[in-house]
Structure 1
Amino acid sequence: MLKVDAEDYSIVLAGAVFEVTRPDGSVFELTTGTDGTVTSGFLVQGTYKVKEKIPPIGYEPNSEEYILEVSPLGGALKTISNNPIKINIAGTKIWDDANNQDGKRPGKITVNLLKNGNSVKSVEITLGAAGEWKYSFNDLRKYENGQEIKYTITENAVAEYTSQISGYNITNSHTPEVIKISGEKTWNDTDNQDGKRPEEITINLLKNGTKIDSKVVKKSDGWKWKFEGLDKYENG
């Protein structure tokens, strides 16, 4: 018997354990070697039933029962296959940028899939119909050469954002840009010759024509004022 990968018959599978039932009903086991085959001792003529007991590492069990006829000329070679165990990887893109306040968010980003540290696939993500940024890599082999594959992701750099990866989710952060506005009151009154200068004045700050803040300015302030921590952008 020969044990192979169902998707690629050139890949032979070691470590599969078969339960073999002799014509008289007695049972024995055979295990495939590194060449994917099993070797038994002398077999009497008759009909043998063969069923997989333990699949190769990284493969789905094969529950089919096979019939092997042994004649004076020998037994026919039976090729038995297993499907590799597959997984899907999915993640979400999270934007931490005050709802794109500065208008810096791109229309798409690229996520790369790494297999044991080597890039093997890439996918572009855009805003989905449900208002989410999601991606997936599907139908991936879980094992290779009997070892579980380590899948990780990276992201192509996004201008003016920092990136943090947690598992398969990605958070891109951008701190909205802020500015400060300052000024100074200048009096053109011959150094208050007529005594009309007030003790204080009020400076109003308008955002797109709407008052949002005010400051009282006095001589003790040097007639200077400033507003700090102001958003430079709104809605992009």
Structure 2
Amino acid sequence: NNRDGVRPDKVTIHLLANGRKTDKTLELSEKMKWTGTFDKLFVNENGQPVKYTVSEDKVDKYTAEVTGDAKTGFTVTNTHTPAVTSVKVSKAWVDDNNRDGVRPDKVIVRLLANGKDSGHKLELTAGNKWTGSFTGLVTHRNGTPIEYTVFEDKVDKYTAEV
């Protein structure tokens, strides 16, 4: 889905005969549905069957895997691992070391993505030193950076500042 907005407009596929590059290439694009055909290929070379394979020019931020064969067709699968980030959260209490004895046992912190609840939450307690992290968060959606913020559920007798 091109989440990070890094998919190229086109890729170049090379035809190899018996492991050597030929002068035949294909330039594939979304407009072409990322497909193409090499045609008018020799079946034999010096009386021996030609083994055809394909390779692809390196595509930044993708890994490529070639499957298939000349008879059934080749598929070059480009895989992009989305960029991820983490958001660290720590809770500070301004209550003179719980002088009034009203500090709760836990607080819930919710993660917002572009201002909307992402469904992720952390439970902060004295046991985890009132800290936690949201991890494995993708950095982009449809090529646009995601802005992460946090929101703390209301805690009685306290006001929150983020």
TM-score (structure 2 length as normaliser): 0.75
- Find the aligned partners of 2:133 and 2:103 in 1 and give their Cα distance: 21
- Find the aligned partners of 2:124 and 2:18 in 1 and give their Cα distance: 64
- Mapped contact 1:115–1:151 kept (Cα < 8 A): yes
- Mapped contact 1:163–1:171 kept (Cα < 8 A): yes
CA RMSD of aligned residues (A): 1.7
Q: Given residue 215 of structure 1, which amino acid in structure 2 is its aligned partner? A: L
1:112 Cα deviation from its structure 2 partner = 0.5
1:198 Cα deviation from its structure 2 partner = 2.7
**Number of equivalent positions:** 136
Residue 127 of structure 2 aligns to a residue in which SS?
helix
Residue pairs, 1:179-218, within 5 angstroms: 179-212=85-118, 213-218=120-125
1:146 Cα deviation from its structure 2 partner = 2.4
1:200 Cα deviation from its structure 2 partner = 2.1
1:158 Cα deviation from its structure 2 partner = 0.8
Residue pairs, 1:119-130, within 5 angstroms: 119-120=21-22, 121-128=24-31
- Mapped contact 1:203–1:217 kept (Cα < 8 A): yes
Q: Given residue 56 of structure 2, which amino acid in structure 1 is its aligned partner? A: E
> Match for 2:133 among 226, 230, 236?
226
Q: Percent identity at matched positions? A: 39
Please state if 1:166 is matched with 2:67. Answer: yes
- Find the aligned partners of 2:110 and 2:57 in 1 and give their Cα distance: 44
* Higher RCO (CA < 8 A, seq sep 6+): 2
Residue pairs, 1:139-178, within 5 angstroms: 139-167=40-68, 168-178=74-84
1:186 Cα deviation from its structure 2 partner = 1.0
- Which structure has the larger Rg? 1
- Find the aligned partners of 2:109 and 2:19 in 1 and give their Cα distance: 59
